[in-house]
Copies of this chain bind each other. A is one copy, B any other.
């Protein structure tokens, strides 16, 4: 047995066993509440997923108006909707096959939308070149992540394929890798340094794979989920150099790029840094960069749409990817339209511009407000410490529970973090997720909370967590 397997930070039963119990619990509690069973709370606050609308955030009116008008074109003639909405809907319908959102689109997405997404990437990246041919719109970025993983994994080789993955990291990706029979090779983010990514740690991780698997790719989440760190340009440059030297394919999961709130932080894409580094990097390092309509200002998880941009891939691989993506006829057309709006929001002078700015400002302000409130509250509690995040939509505070609580968890057959979440849900009606799902350094325990929620719900959440936590520390001290 190698070092790597002994210390698997992604628990074997991650999601499957422990959190299956948590999911059964939430279903039971919701049902009990519906039936009027008395509890210390009337409603569960569900901050378990990065799903802003589930927690009460409002969708952007401009997006919803356009989608409604595309679905029901009578609205285009109705002057209740702003004129730019109606014009935009009209133009988008003209680009749909048969003039309807009810037709299949091309496999990679509607050509006009793919084109505009490519232009948007160029603008975002200070003019860096982007080729529409390299862009694939898919039913969510999770879908394209799973499919790119599948292409990278060689199931026929005698040595298993390895993919370097962050600890902590987005659990669905890690499960995808495991299900494909590949090996996630963990690299640890440095919690004490605000979850920073250190180059030595990447080197250590790669070395740990020796004799275990054949690492072919490096999976990066920036801004981080659940960790909330945002990589600097310098750090990205070093990672690209490392990937180039070690011949690793970079998967840059950048779905949280539009929610960077750290005062000194700025989102810089891998694509941009790669382009700006110039040759030999810019024309050799293989990169897949992911974005989504589910996150950022839109938060339209239910529409299921994202895109991946592929850079420097072998034409033979690109052809294979096309076939792989053709398994599904196309991404949902309404999701594609939302992506188009994300890439082309209203501009100054457009009738919808002022309200659009108001709504997006409100989301940004809420995020900053919530993260500050959460940090203050959690860091003032004994046994809870929370690193200041810079981006994303989660906080990931660390639990230091009294030994008696840990013992109690053990008796219940649960890890301390899952034990905490189970009781937090049962006693306080707050649905958070245990760190075990995302991987954590041995001996450390965390909980993940989505902070993309209306401020009043955030206050109620903090009140509940504070009183639950205080009681728990008292009971087990």
Interface residues of A (CB under 8 A from B): 46, 49, 51-56, 59, 64-65, 67-69, 71-72, 75, 78, 80, 96-98, 100-105, 139-140, 142-143, 146, 155, 172, 175-176, 179, 294, 299-304, 323, 326-335
Contact = CB atoms under 8 A, between A and B. Distances in A.
B53 A102 contact: yes
A140 B329 contact: yes
29 contacts: A46-B97, A51-B98, A54-B98, A54-B104, A64-B71, A64-B72, A65-B72, A67-B72, A71-B71, A96-B302, A100-B302, A101-B303, A102-B299, A102-B303, A103-B301, A103-B302, A105-B302, A139-B139, A140-B329, A143-B327, A143-B328, A146-B328, A176-B327, A302-B330, A303-B332, A303-B333, A304-B329, A332-B334, A332-B335
Given A146-B328, A302-B330, 17 more contacts: A54-B103, A54-B104, A55-B98, A59-B100, A65-B72, A67-B71, A102-B303, A142-B328, A172-B327, A172-B329, A176-B327, A302-B332, A302-B333, A302-B334, A303-B332, A304-B330, A332-B334
Given A329-B301, A334-B334, A335-B332, A98 B53 contact: yes
A68 B75 contact: yes
Contacts of A146: 327-328
A71 B70 CA distance: 11
Given A64-B71, A68-B68, A140 B328 contact: yes
A218 to B, nearest CB: 21
Nearest to A59: B102
B302 A142 contact: no
A285 B8 CA distance: 41
Contacts of A68: 68-69, 71-72, 75
A277 to B, nearest CB: 33
The 8 closest A-B pairs by CB, nearest first: A302-B333, A68-B72, A54-B98, A53-B102, A54-B103, A53-B100, A68-B68, A332-B332
A329 B68 CA distance: 24
Contacts of A55: 98
Contacts of A102: 52-53, 59, 299-303
B71 A142 contact: no
Contacts of A301: 102-104, 329
Contacts of A101: 302-303
A68 B75 CA distance: 9
Nearest to A110: B302
A332 B102 CA distance: 13
A81 B332 CA distance: 25
Contacts of A69: 68
B51 A179 contact: no
Contacts of A326: 172, 175
Contacts of A143: 327-328
A166 B55 CA distance: 48
Q: For A103, A142, A301, A330, which residue has the most chain B Cβ atoms within 10 angstroms?
A: A103
A51 B97 contact: yes
Contacts of A328: 139-140, 142-143, 146, 304
A72 B46 CA distance: 24
Contact of A54 (B49, B56, B97, B302): B97
Given A53-B102, A54-B103, A68-B71, A331 B303 contact: no
Nearest to A100: B53
Nearest to A294: B104
Contacts of A299: 102
Nearest to A299: B102
A139 B304 contact: yes
Given A68-B72, A332-B304, A56 B98 contact: yes
A300 B100 CA distance: 9
A215 B68 CA distance: 47
A101 B142 CA distance: 18
Contacts of A67: 71-72
Nearest to A329: B142
A420 B342 CA distance: 43
A78 B105 CA distance: 32
Contacts of A140: 328-329
A170 to B, nearest CB: 12
Contact of A304 (B52, B97, B331): B331
A16 to B, nearest CB: 8
A95 B49 CA distance: 18
